[in-house]
Structure 1
Amino acid sequence: MPLPHGRSSPDAQDLGFDPAELRARYRAERDRRIRPEGNGQYERAAGRFGYYDEDPYTEAPSDRDPLCDRVEVVVVGGGFGGLLAGARLRRAGVESIRVIEKGGDFGGTWYWNRYPGIHCDIESYIYLPLLEEVGYVPKWKYAPGEEIRQHARAVGRVFGLYRDAVFQTQVTELRWNEAESEWLVSTDRGDRIRARYVVTASGTLSEAKLPGIPGIETFAGHTFHTSRWDYGYTGGSAEGNLHGLAGKRVALIGTGATAIQCVPHLAAGAAELYVFQRTPSSVDVRANRPTDPAWAASLTPGWQRRRRDNFLALVTGDRTEQDLVDDGWTSSARLHQKLIPSDSHREGHPELSAEENERAYELADFQKMNEIRARVDAVVTDPRTAEKLKPWYRYMCKRPTFSDSYLQTFNLPHVTLVDTADQHGVERITESGVVVGGTTYEVDCIIFGTGFRVGLSGITSGRLPVYGRDGVALTDTWREGPRTLHGFYSHGFPNLFQLGPLQNASSVNYVHILDEQATHVAEVVAAARARRARYVDPSAGAQAAWVATIREKAADLYAFQAECTPGYYNNEGRPRKRSESYGDGPVAFHALLRDWRANGGLSEVLVDAEGDDRP
């Protein structure tokens, strides 16, 4: 925000609000919600709760003989990361590609999440990958989940990835065979597949979590997690019409991005709906609309990349002449620096000191959140309910949400918002209901909209053991922290590529990030094949230099996140001391990779047939 002429710091009268009062309110609201156990408040959807992880969309896998064959590339995961890896490798000339996927089809998070109202919150024209290659233009500015899932399947068909794919199968171990220069890939179906290269793309939204509420297992009614929506119970489809809830009392626990979309449909179907909220989301205008046929017909080759790059530049602080996407993300781009640090964001107003820049940023943040809270007052008729729905925290403390129907739902007489902040969440669950503040809310069904263990893949959590050269476990080499080159590969684990945010770069449009990563992996594999390299393995020196770069450039967001209300952005109120993301941001990182590939960087990872004598 520009400062008043001749003044270094505007006061409350200039602003129309008191920053000191807002800071105090934010801290008080944060403290109401912090729990000492942090992420320990959640349960995995495994073990005694394993039934929450079962697949409701595909019949139980039929018996098949274990696979004991050889392919050139195994891709672990069939979401957009795995599909992009397969597509880019196919374009690079690799024919033998096997995608191994836990679900019954391609789609990843869009296979599992089919709850009513599900849409992407990133514009479809930049979120859905490979649109030009597939020959498709989405039907809506913000695509519904089923359209996205069908597009994932189309990518699989266009690039021939169904041919060797195996579904309803989970990789259980990766083990390097030095003598053969290949990986042995073991699965829960008894497969022992040999592969020259392995690409892991198992995602960071793949493991549902449940709240560790006492008595959760005693409830006698019906329960399920939103990522495994039970349409057999609710009736209807992702478009709504949940006729199976007629006459039923329903509880939804959680008010994040999923709740924002499914609450209106639950309210339309249920006789009574109780929404249990620890922290309200910030809810801005969505304004979804159908794709204009004339606009779609006017698109010229390269349109998606231009639009996607324009969005990334805007949300990372670059100055552009035109905003091609023009939505809630780009209009609030100034505030994204707390999620996506970059050189451009750090520049801020160059005429101001670092302290003045931070002050200007904070004031812009206050103003945006005041607008969000004012919208609640304008939409929700009951003042007490409206007050509970107001988010009292900085804009990027939680992922922003967008809806034109969520807030309106709380004006319905049969919808009750139950605020649990003073109890730090739901107190307990009984055979017949949910208890908060000593009051039992009798319900027939409890739906858990409690999200995922964000940022964890099978490799980083240790659930997918990886053994490299000399049988060394990857988790052992990472005891002092991750050690990679560019986030993709680790010394001593040849021909293993990891897609994900670790020591890489990120953005709110994560599919764009995955496409840049898949393109890089395909380029490296193509170079290894062309040069007949024995394998791809970063030198110890190159890896150490990259880890040092990550440490040097890491953005210090600890103070900001420590002030935030607890959530997955700040590790449930326990922000990590050290960032593992590239501090100059995704635009700079993607440029760095292109320069590295073009100017001799491949010598740091390609090992010839004589072995590895590099430092």
Structure 2
Amino acid sequence: MGTAPDTRTAIEADAAELDIQGLRARYAKERDRRVRPDGASQYRSASGEFGYYAKDPYTPRTEREPLTDAVEVLVVGGGFGGLVAGARLRQAGVESIRMMDEAGDFGGTWYWNRYPGIHCDIESYSYMPLLEEVGHVPRWRYAPGEEIRQHAVAIAETFALYRDAVFQTRVTGLTWDDQADEWVVETDRGDMMRARFVITSSGTLTQPKLPGIPGVESFRGHTFHTSRWDYGYTGGDQSGGLTGLADKRVAVVGTGATGVQVIPHVGRDAEHLYVFQRTPSSVDVRDNRPTAPEWAASLEPGWQRERMENFLALVSGEPVETDLTRDGWTSTARLQRKLTTGALDTSVSPEERERVDELADARKMNQIRARVDEVVDDPDTAELLKPWYRYMCKRPCFSDHYLQTFNRPNVTLVDTADHGGITRMTEDAIVVGDVEYPVDCVVFATGFDVGVSGVVSGTLPVRGRGGRELLHSWSRGPRTLHGFYSDGFPNLFHLGPLQNATSVNFTHILLEQAEHIAAVIAEGRRTGARVIEPASDAVDEWARTIGENVLDTVDFQRECTPGYYNREGAGHAGGQSYGPGPVAFHRLLEDWRRDRIHEVMVQDHATTDER
């Protein structure tokens, strides 16, 4: 297996023109400028003395009496994962469903994040699930946050998920009752309810993360995290108009996906904006536009499923005749294989494939850096805004307004790379090195504790058969079948990216997972199974399958600039995904439901080891 001599010659010529060796050296240099010895511990969670950063500013807390009742299914999490699970269960005939969330309403990350400029970065026709079921066509190609939040509410209303919903409530413990074959559920409201089945979809983009800046507690100005935006202070709404900042010197800390959306609005309305950047994002063209009414009217039944599957196939490297989306994601599908699972081009050797991929990566990143020069007037500022790393080292961003903001005279970019970030804060200023920047308000656009659910972190303790702790069972690594359930923990299902396959359109992944879990529960109800639980040997077999097929990104992430993808430069962030990708994984699930679903149906009191 290999390439023809003339093709190899063309590749080498391309490499020389792009100066691959020079790019590698520059990428390494820029990475080293930003690596900190404290790695991920440079951040602190919004808890303890900083817990006020995570408080709900949108819904007043309502007191209630503790619940001691029982439901058939408890769904932990009111974001899109929980919503689609509840919807599919309702369609499967389950009437007793309780939705539970720490927020004051449905929406998940779209409940919490209401900052100015917020939009989805995946095309809304594919991103917003159950559009046809709800009867809605998004008004914009990339929908604003409030439209997405309202769609979450519409899903809940359409499928009667408000009926037994419990909000402003956090699950603090799940304990399996071996005698009653059900889960005992404890919460921070003193509840002691029971559920036959529990589905956890507690989200990975809801818990704000704060930088551990020395002296932050001494700052006397105003501060908040973007996921708890304070419109009482700034004025305006998600579309902008932040009139309260007209006489304020504002600092925005962070230039990732959130900062890229927030900064244009703050820059337009503040007296002065200081943008504190450790690492610039790659910012490509967004090209957002209203949905054409004639296009919406032409849609036929099944249009969304077709569009979602077409997008997923494209970004997963599957053969597709037509690109229905044609945007920045589908045009860079090959580059995304450095981080996400999917089909590989096996017509060439791994070495040749890597070589071609690196050249394509270099061409794309050169285009993105050239766009900075085209848009930003000041050469020094433009140089600081150029991303010097490979395409999937950080989540790509898209905006038609972000780079232009740095042409405003009232906007100052402060690069913190050579100082390991912000040095400290005083009562009225942010300090980088020896330079003080007096500010009235600090907005932390510093993201979330990504990929850390309560089950995985241990903040939601789970005790299964005989009181065994789930995290103890997983002490040598996760033990699941298909990522959804574990031996020794009957009737407990997990939605999320663990030991299955993921993609940039995560709502599609959650929809497929929810449909699978609903089908399994429906089959258990149909057959009268006492519990649903995989056998130990099936779990072991799946762990081997994951290990044999996992996408190896260790070398790639080791060379990346620090970020949450690589644990802030510490190395590989840990991969537990099915290497062939989500399309292949969904086929596998479909085959399993047809041929092997009976294997998890337990009819008697035999334990999984006895099976």
The TM-score with structure 1 as length reference comes to 0.97
Question: Equivalent residue of 1:544, what SS?
Answer: helix
CA contact (8 A) 2:277 2:413 kept: yes
The equivalent of 1:33 in structure 2 is: 34
Which of 583, 593, 608 matches 2:589? 593
1:345 maps to a residue whose letter is L
CA contact (8 A) 1:125 1:141 kept: yes
Q: Find out whether 1:282 has 2:282 as its counterpart.
A: yes
Q: Write the deviation string for residues 75-113 of structure 1: whole angstroms up to 9, x where unpaired.
A: 001000010110010011100000011111000000000
Q: Distance in 1 between matches of 2:385 and 2:4?
A: 31
CA contact (8 A) 1:556 1:578 kept: no
The equivalent of 2:50 in structure 1 is: 49
Q: Find out whether 1:323 has 2:307 as its counterpart.
A: no
Q: Distance in 1 between matches of 2:182 and 2:456?
A: 22
Q: Distance in 1 between matches of 2:264 and 2:171?
A: 38
1:306 maps to a residue whose letter is E
Identity of aligned residues (%): 63
Question: Equivalent residue of 1:146, what SS?
Answer: helix
Q: Find out whether 1:602 has 2:603 as its counterpart.
A: no
Q: Write the deviation string for residues 324-349 of structure 1: whole angstroms up to 9, x where unpaired.
A: 0110000111111012222x2243xx
Q: Report how far residue 62 of structure 1 moved.
A: 2.2
Distance 1:553 1:380, change over 3 A: same
Q: Report how far residue 527 of structure 1 moved.
A: 0.5
Q: Write the deviation string for residues 111-144 of structure 1: whole angstroms up to 9, x where unpaired.
A: 0000000000000000000000001100000000
Q: Distance in 2 between matches of 1:308 and 1:493?
A: 33
1:387 maps to a residue whose letter is E
Moved >2 Å (runs of 4+): 2-17, 344-347, 575-578, 609-615
Aligned residue pairs total 608
The equivalent of 2:22 in structure 1 is: 21
1:593 maps to a residue whose letter is L
The equivalent of 2:431 in structure 1 is: 435
Q: Write the deviation string for residues 514-549 of structure 1: whole angstroms up to 9, x where unpaired.
A: 000000000000000001001011100100000111
The equivalent of 1:449 in structure 2 is: 445
Q: Distance in 1 between matches of 2:15 and 2:391?
A: 22
Distance 1:506 1:260, change over 3 A: same
CA contact (8 A) 1:3 1:9 kept: no
Q: Find out whether 1:419 has 2:415 as its counterpart.
A: yes
Match runs of 1:113-128 below 5 Å = 113-128=113-128
Distance 1:66 1:354, change over 3 A: same
Question: Equivalent residue of 1:375, what SS?
Answer: helix
2:243 maps to a residue whose letter is H
Which of 454, 461, 467 matches 2:457? 461
Q: Report how far residue 611 of structure 1 moved.
A: 2.8
1:450 maps to a residue whose letter is T
Q: Report how far residue 220 of structure 1 moved.
A: 0.5
Match runs of 1:225-240 below 5 Å = 225-240=225-240
Q: Report how far residue 5 of structure 1 moved.
A: 3.0
CA contact (8 A) 2:341 2:501 kept: no
The equivalent of 1:490 in structure 2 is: 486
Distance 1:610 1:596, change over 3 A: same
Question: Equivalent residue of 1:16, what SS?
Answer: helix
Which of 375, 378, 389 matches 2:374? 378
Question: Equivalent residue of 1:345, what SS?
Answer: coil
Distance 1:217 1:504, change over 3 A: same
Q: Find out whether 1:102 has 2:123 as its counterpart.
A: no
Q: Find out whether 1:345 has 2:344 as its counterpart.
A: yes
Q: Distance in 2 between matches of 1:568 and 1:7?
A: 36
1:587 maps to a residue whose letter is V
The equivalent of 2:355 in structure 1 is: 359
Which of 514, 529, 532 matches 1:518? 514
2:502 maps to a residue whose letter is S
Q: Report how far residue 3 of structure 1 moved.
A: 9.0
The equivalent of 1:557 in structure 2 is: 553
Question: Equivalent residue of 1:455, what SS?
Answer: coil
The equivalent of 1:222 in structure 2 is: 222
Q: Distance in 2 between matches of 1:509 and 1:554?
A: 20
Question: Equivalent residue of 2:85, what SS?
Answer: helix
1:51 maps to a residue whose letter is Y
1:34 maps to a residue whose letter is V
CA contact (8 A) 1:4 1:10 kept: no
Distance 1:15 1:328, change over 3 A: farther
Q: Report how far residue 10 of structure 1 moved.
A: 3.9
Q: Distance in 2 between matches of 1:275 and 1:587?
A: 40
Q: Distance in 1 between matches of 2:5 and 2:104?
A: 59
CA contact (8 A) 1:334 1:345 kept: no
CA contact (8 A) 2:97 2:161 kept: yes
1:561 maps to a residue whose letter is Q
Q: Distance in 2 between matches of 1:557 and 1:14?
A: 22
CA contact (8 A) 2:499 2:578 kept: yes
1:57 maps to a residue whose letter is Y
Q: Report how far residue 319 of structure 1 moved.
A: 1.7
CA contact (8 A) 1:3 1:10 kept: no
The equivalent of 2:70 in structure 1 is: 70
Which of 393, 397, 420 matches 2:389? 393
Q: Report how far residue 578 of structure 1 moved.
A: 4.8
CA contact (8 A) 1:34 1:573 kept: yes
Question: Equivalent residue of 2:517, what SS?
Answer: helix
2:302 maps to a residue whose letter is G
CA contact (8 A) 1:554 1:578 kept: no
Q: Report how far residue 147 of structure 1 moved.
A: 0.1
Question: Equivalent residue of 1:224, what SS?
Answer: strand
The TM-score with structure 2 as length reference comes to 0.98
Point out where structure 1 has 5 or more consecutive residues left out of the alignment: none
